[in-house]
Amino acid sequence: MAISDHDYERLFGINEVAAAKAAQFASKHHCVSIPGEDAVYFRKLNSDAYGSAGLVQDAAAMSR
């Protein structure tokens, strides 16, 4: 899943607290947050372990 920088700032803020909030959100959903140029990506740590094998990286993130 990817969220735009604008939405990231709206949801989590723009300072170091925002990064902690994003990490906490990701952890609760068994993900990691990965900052990109224009978005923040959330990826499952181990999709098979959580029964969501359909969750894979999107094409945009893979092409960077």
Quote the pLDDT of residue 50: 54
Quote the pLDDT of residue 33: 86
Instruction: For the chain, list residues with pLDDT below 70.
Output: 47-64
pTM of the model: 0.60
Cα–Cα distance between 14 and 6 in angstroms, integer?
10
Number of domains in the chain: 1
Domain that holds residue 21: 2-62
Cα–Cα distance between 12 and 38 in angstroms, integer?
15
Phi, psi (deg, nearest 5) at residue 20 = -65, -40
